[in-house]
């Protein structure tokens, strides 16, 4: 058990040293960042413009068609589109292939599952590293 702990500490220190030498190692590669940005156009843009379009539609119907709407209905509909856009940002990042050499699929379901797994693994590694640093 102590051997495994010492190995983990050595690995953690090696990673720390590598990051100290070159902080760019921890950066998102430009190809991956561009891929994430391209995915944001539909996954964020459509809900965002849907939110604005819905608000304008409510205004048009109330002003020119003499229809009445509860303010809560207008707010709920607009905020729902914005919430979908917020989820779209998250999905855009997680559904893009994080491998610079692999484009990934159009919808990104496989990449999403793979990246969520990597994210969970990274969080548990961070938790373990924090415990090791406390000792």
pLDDT tens, position by position, 29-70: 999 999 999 999 999 999 999 999 999 999 999 999 999 999
Q: Contact 31/100 with Cβ under 8 angstroms?
A: yes
The better pLDDT of the pair 25, 132 is held by 132
pLDDT at 129 over 90: no
pLDDT at 24 over 80: no
pLDDT at 131 over 90: no
> Which pLDDT value is given to residue 114?
96
- Residue 14 pLDDT grade (very low, low, confident, very high; cuts 50, 70, 90): confident
Structure tokens at 80: 């729902």
> Which pLDDT value is given to residue 57?
98
For residue 78, what are the contacts with CB-CB under 8 A and spacing of at least 6? 51, 54, 55
pTM value is 0.77
Q: Which residues of 9-44 are buried (b: 16+ CB within 10 A; e: fewer)?
A: eeeeeeeeeeeeeeeeeeeeeeebeebbeebbeebb
Domain boundaries, the chain: 28-134
pLDDT tens, position by position, 87-122: 999 999 999 999 999 999 989 999 999 999 999 999
Which residue carries 């944001």 as its tokens?
A: 40
- Residue 12 pLDDT grade (very low, low, confident, very high; cuts 50, 70, 90): confident
> Which pLDDT value is given to residue 2?
82
Structure tokens at 16: 């720390």
């Amino acid at each position: 058990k102590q051997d495994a702990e010492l190995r983990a500490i050595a690995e953690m220190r090696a990673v720390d040293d590598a990051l100290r030498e070159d902080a760019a190692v921890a950066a998102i590669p430009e190809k991956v960042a561009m891929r994430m940005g391209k995915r944001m156009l539909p996954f964020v843009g459509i809900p965002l413009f849907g939110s604005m379009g819905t608000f304008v539609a409510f205004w048009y119907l109330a002003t020119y068609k003499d229809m009445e709407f509860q303010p809560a209905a207008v707010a709920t509909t607009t905020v729902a589109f914005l919430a979908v856009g917020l989820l779209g940002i998250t999905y855009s990042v997680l559904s893009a292939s994080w491998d610079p050499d692999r484009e990934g699929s159009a919808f990104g379901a496989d990449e999403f599952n793979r990246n969520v797994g990597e994210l969970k693994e990274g969080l548990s590694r961070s938790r373990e590293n924090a415990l090791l640093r406390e000792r």
